[in-house]
Amino acid sequence: MSPSTESKFKVGLVQMACSRDPNENLAKAEWRVREAAGHGAQIVCLPELFRTPYFCREEDPELFALAEPIPGPTTERLGRVARELKVVLIAPLFERRAPGLYHNTAAVIGRKGELFGIYRKMHIPDDPLFYEKFYFTPGDLGFPTFSTPFGRISVLICWDQWYPEAARAAALRGATVVFYPTAIGWHPAEKEQRGAAQLDAWRTMQRSHAIANGVYVAAANRVGLEGPADRAIEFWGSSFVADPFGQVIAEANDSDEATLIAECDPRRIEEVRRNWPFIRDRRIDAYAPLLERWLG
């Protein structure tokens, strides 16, 4: 029998460094999933593009060879792990949808090893060392949610975390937890001057989604320095879980691999929304201008 969706449940976030060997990364991810399950996690989220180094630091057509179909070898292997451990897994992958058509995608795998569905990253950045528009077609599935035995969840990916519209859409579709698998870090030359402010902005933005929507937010990032000195990114880890009031209830540091565990209580959502009824007070009759690119 499935647990009540009003019952408490535990989520696990995997914070890991990624090597150049996809098989090594997959084996490490599997080990971390087992560790999370051993500590009671029932939903486990891996970081963005966990099977590979963050290849978007450069534009190289040869790197499209890193992509794989969904379903495919990785979802099949993790499906077996999910079935064995009876956990829900969020596996962010470089998806080969068709020849010449690729997405930054998260597969959601159920406790019986089945593929619940996928989310394709909607907002695609193009910044120095984050050249994702070269590789990824923007998502075309909108902002879906996924029903699990522990409640409804949503998955958004990295750059999506800066957009309040995405988190709102997830909440309005009933998500109790919004997961943000992530690959974000510092340009080493900027770290001393701007690093603390950048990390604080990242945390603040996601905590604000938790508060504004009365949901749990869980961000899983990678760690480690990747790339040569002139094109390096130092991924800042700091994976965390915030409750519906924006309070951080579990957090990793900015440099070490970690398996983070946090307990979520759906009743906390009800409690917070009764006192801060932002969803109740939305003026849906007045928001049409938000569908325009610019109003100046």
Mean pLDDT of the chain: 97
Does the active-site annotation cover 191?
no
Q: Which residues contact 130 (CB under 8 A, 6 or more apart)?
A: 56, 57
Contact predicate 237/247, CB 8 Å: no
Q: Active site residue: 48, 95, 226, 234, which one?
A: 48
Helix axes 164-172, 188-213, angle to 10 degrees: 30
Task: Please tell me whether residue 253 adopts helix, strand or coil conformation.
Answer: coil
Q: What is the DSSP letter of 7?
A: S
What is the average per-residue pLDDT within 21-32? 98
Give the pLDDT of residue 204: 98
Q: What is the rounded CA–CA span in Å between residue 144 and residue 1?
A: 25
Q: Active site residue: 56, 121, 226, 251, which one?
A: 121
Question: For residue 125, is the peptide bond before it cis, meaning its omega torsion is within 30 degrees of 0?
Answer: no
Task: Please tell me whether residue 239 adopts helix, strand or coil conformation.
Answer: coil
Residue 192, CB-side half-sphere exposure with 13 Å CA sphere: 1
Task: Please tell me whether residue 80 adopts helix, strand or coil conformation.
Answer: helix
10 Å Cβ neighbour count for 22?
18
CATH, domain 9-291, list 3.20.20.70, 3.40.50.1970, 3.60.110.10, 3.40.109.10 = 3.60.110.10
Does the active-site annotation cover 48?
yes
Q: Which of 22, 36, 77, 23 is nearest to 257 (CA)?
A: 36
Q: What is the pLDDT of residues 41-65, one digit of tens each?
A: 999 999 999 999 999 999 999 999 9
Q: Given pLDDT bands bounded at 50, 70 and 90, which one contains residue 39?
A: very high
Give the pLDDT of residue 2: 42
Q: Over 90: is that where the pLDDT of 3 sits?
A: no
Q: Over 70: is that where the pLDDT of 5 sits?
A: no
Q: Active site residue: 158, 226, 234, 264, which one?
A: 158
Q: What is the pLDDT of residues 83-117, one digit of tens each?
A: 999 999 999 999 999 999 999 999 999 999 999 99
Q: Over 60: is that where the pLDDT of 4 sits?
A: no
Q: Given pLDDT bands bounded at 50, 70 and 90, which one contains residue 6?
A: confident
What is the average per-residue pLDDT within 69-80? 98
Q: What is the pLDDT of residues 113-152, one digit of tens each?
A: 999 999 999 999 999 999 999 999 999 999 999 999 999 9
List residues bridging with 243 in a β-sheet.
Answer: none
Q: Given pLDDT bands bounded at 50, 70 and 90, which one contains residue 191?
A: very high
Does the active-site annotation cover 257?
no
Contact predicate 198/173, CB 8 Å: no
